[in-house]
A and B are shown apart, each in its own frame.
Chain A
Amino acid sequence: MFKGILKEQTIQVGIGFVFIVVLLGTFILPEWMSNNFMYGLSRGLAVLGLMILWRTNLVSFGHALYYGFGAYAVAIAQKYLGVTDVFLRILIAIAAAGLLGFVLGFILRRYREIFFAMLSLAFSMVLYGLLAKAEFLGSTDGMSISPSTMFGFELGRFGLFYFIGFVVILSLIFAHAYLRSSLGHLTTAIMDNEIRVEYLGYSVEKAIHIKYVISACLAGGAGGLMAAALGQVDPDSMVLWSVSGELVFVTIMAGLGNILAPFVGAIFFEFIRTYAYEFAPQAWQMIIGGTLLAIIFFLPGGLWSLFQKINPFKKEKK
């Protein structure tokens, strides 16, 4: 699966990109900018998961379900099991979201288009409702997360940033390996022609289910990283429909052209939002909406299409 993957251009560029982002974030930029990079990288994982689904024409309006589930898994593991180790935290977040995705996947894999989108939204709202009512999970106030540790030592902000960079690189490698595989190529094949895929002897529902679980794991991982970075989880900032909307927003803005696009898009979004708050606190949503409109009109392929026009990697789509 991973044969020769480190020699691939996308992965080499991806590692370089993450390295630069982490370097800028830890040594050069002020903390508020550094935070935008850190949150952007973390959220980018969830956007990558959405992108993988989107390439099969499946748009999830409820991916905050997994994002929030991963985040709450970290909080619950800390509260009841005392888990603060960052490796365990991310593994728990991914496993919890993956398991939930596996179970719900049996239902969602049967639906397409708007039914898939709205059903995923419905599931996320069910979780929101449960979390908002669950007093033992902090209800609408949520739960606080203690600083992460690694091998018993507190990680600190920089350490966490390095760790996020490490997880992003691993995710890029995994996503690239998946998309270049026979199973990954079914991503576009299913979008083009489900009947043919069935007559080639492979179950479309199974292929979608696998893709859905991968997507859920990535979103759960993103939630776990964000929980560790923010030090707080609550239903409004982790599971509410607007969080799912933001992820869809970033996916459109980033474009589907490359696995790096979600991270570029997510970082870009963090900065747009920060500046919009800064300069127009009463109308920041208008600026964000205007940005999306501008991208749809002038860069329908998303921000990545801009890179494709000006950089030498434009032919590669993985």
Chain B
Amino acid sequence: MATTEILKTTNLQKSFSGIIAAEDINISVKEGEIIGIIGANGAGKTVFVNMITGYLKPTSGSIEFNGKNITGIKPREATHIGVCRSFQVSQVFMSMTVKQNLMIAMSLSKKSGSALLDPIDDDILSKECDKILKQYNIIKQKDFVVSTLSQGMRKLLDIAMAVVGNPKILLLDEPTSGVSVEEKFGIMDIVISALKESGTTVLFVEHDMEIVERYVDRVMAFYQGQIICDAPPKQALKDKKVIQYVLG
């Protein structure tokens, strides 16, 4: 595993009208790491992800990505520099087909300027799109309108759309929430193997400890907006604070 630091936060804090949602978050993430973020509801996990990806502006503190300060960056700027994300509730284009969703994501990530006025359905892009749909095991549903798909399929599409931008770091917010027990491991197997293949650094928020134990290199446990444990999964899941405040 590479040892270059890709993401660093220093004294990161976010408060809403005086209520602190995240406090003194200091992390360092190395390239290629897969990190699980755990914590009870309201512990500050999603706020943390939202700050990194530009959805929320931190109240104080700083975020460095590849040595550059990206604090308060806009979502689309985050995407441009390689910080991408998926969402707790899949953010896809519900009235379009699976393939149209991915084609839009791909064309926006690969084209710019006047090339965006070219027809979206060009052969090269279409073939590449089919390849990704196959990799994410949603090729059979490519002509289905997204609103007719299961939560699991939507999650896969959501993640695939985030991945086509070739992110350097990908933040997945509860990739298995709302997904049936039978689908969970299947989805994570597909996603993690695809991301490992591309060497993408991954931070994912997760409530299912079986998933955390199986896929991550390191666990960050949140409680009341702070990180109470940052350790390898076996060690973290036996930590007294984690047992008391997270695993309950």
A: residues with CB less than 8 A from B are: 1, 3-4, 177-178, 180-186, 188-189, 191-193, 195-196, 198-203
Q: Is the interface of A mostly helix, strand, loop or mixed?
A: helix
Number of interface residues of B (CB under 8 A): 35
Query: Shortest beta-carbon distance, A310 to chain B, in Å?
Result: 24
Output the residue of B79, B91, B96, B119 with the most chain A CB within 10 A: B119
Chain A residue, CB-CB nearest to B95 = A192
The residues of A that contact B109 with a CB separation of less than 8 Å are 200-201
Report yes or no: B79 in contact with A185, Cβ–Cβ below 8 A.
Answer: no
Name 17 interchain pairs, CB-CB below 8 A, sorted by A.
A181-B116, A181-B119, A182-B111, A182-B116, A182-B117, A189-B104, A192-B94, A193-B91, A193-B94, A195-B91, A198-B74, A198-B79, A199-B53, A199-B78, A200-B108, A201-B76, A202-B108
Report yes or no: B91 in contact with A201, Cβ–Cβ below 8 A.
Answer: no
Report yes or no: B165 in contact with A181, Cβ–Cβ below 8 A.
Answer: no
0 or 1 for each of B85-99: is its CB under 8 Å from A? (1 = yes):
101000111111000
B120 close to chain A: CB less than 8 A: yes
The residues of B that contact A178 with a CB separation of less than 8 Å are 117
Report yes or no: B120 in contact with A182, Cβ–Cβ below 8 A.
Answer: yes
Q: Report Cα–Cα, A33/B165, bound state, in Å.
A: 55
Report yes or no: B92 in contact with A185, Cβ–Cβ below 8 A.
Answer: no
The listed residue (A183, A189, A191, A199) touching B116 by CB distance below 8 A is A183
Report yes or no: B118 in contact with A182, Cβ–Cβ below 8 A.
Answer: yes
Query: With A1-B118, A181-B116, A199-B79 in contact, do A188 and B108 touch (Cβ < 8 Å)?
Result: no
Query: Shortest beta-carbon distance, B114 to chain A, in Å?
Result: 7
Report yes or no: A196 in contact with B93, Cβ–Cβ below 8 A.
Answer: yes
Q: 4 shortest A-B CB distances, which residue pairs?
A: A201-B79, A182-B107, A192-B93, A196-B91
The listed residue (A4, A198, A200) touching B161 by CB distance below 8 A is A200
The listed residue (B76, B105, B121) touching A203 by CB distance below 8 A is B76
Report yes or no: B79 in contact with A188, Cβ–Cβ below 8 A.
Answer: no
The residues of A that contact B111 with a CB separation of less than 8 Å are 182
Q: Report Cα–Cα, A203/B162, bound state, in Å.
A: 16
The residues of A that contact B85 with a CB separation of less than 8 Å are 199
Q: Report Cα–Cα, A177/B109, bound state, in Å.
A: 20
Report yes or no: A199 in contact with B91, Cβ–Cβ below 8 A.
Answer: yes
Q: Report Cα–Cα, A196/B114, bound state, in Å.
A: 22
Q: Report Cα–Cα, A133/B28, bound state, in Å.
A: 66
Query: With A198-B76, A199-B85 in contact, do A182 and B104 touch (Cβ < 8 Å)?
Result: yes
Q: Report Cα–Cα, A1/B122, bound state, in Å.
A: 12
Query: With A200-B104, A201-B80 in contact, do A193 and B118 touch (Cβ < 8 Å)?
Result: no
Report yes or no: A180 in contact with B95, Cβ–Cβ below 8 A.
Answer: no
B22 close to chain A: CB less than 8 A: no
B61 close to chain A: CB less than 8 A: no
Output the residue of A180, A189, A191, A199 with the most chain B CB within 10 A: A199
Query: With A196-B91, A200-B104, A202-B108 in contact, do A181 and B117 touch (Cβ < 8 Å)?
Result: yes
B75 close to chain A: CB less than 8 A: yes
Output the residue of A184, A192, A200 with the most chain B CB within 10 A: A200
Report yes or no: A188 in contact with B95, Cβ–Cβ below 8 A.
Answer: yes
Q: Report Cα–Cα, A111/B87, bound state, in Å.
A: 25
Query: Shortest beta-carbon distance, A276 to chain B, in Å?
Result: 36
Query: With A1-B117, A198-B76 in contact, do A188 and B93 touch (Cβ < 8 Å)?
Result: yes
Q: Report Cα–Cα, A177/B118, bound state, in Å.
A: 8
Query: With A193-B91, A193-B94, A195-B91 in contact, do A200 and B165 touch (Cβ < 8 Å)?
Result: yes
Report yes or no: A193 in contact with B120, Cβ–Cβ below 8 A.
Answer: no
Query: Shortest beta-carbon distance, A59 to chain B, in Å?
Result: 18
Q: Report Cα–Cα, A198/B80, bound state, in Å.
A: 11
Query: Shortest beta-carbon distance, B104 to chain A, in Å?
Result: 5
The listed residue (B75, B84, B91, B120) touching A185 by CB distance below 8 A is B120
B177 close to chain A: CB less than 8 A: no
Q: Report Cα–Cα, A3/B122, bound state, in Å.
A: 11
Q: Report Cα–Cα, A3/B120, bound state, in Å.
A: 12
Q: Report Cα–Cα, A185/B125, bound state, in Å.
A: 15
B46 close to chain A: CB less than 8 A: no
Report yes or no: A182 in contact with B76, Cβ–Cβ below 8 A.
Answer: no
Q: Report Cα–Cα, A3/B75, bound state, in Å.
A: 33
B100 close to chain A: CB less than 8 A: yes
Query: With A189-B93, A192-B94 in contact, do A200 and B105 touch (Cβ < 8 Å)?
Result: yes
Q: Report Cα–Cα, A184/B75, bound state, in Å.
A: 21
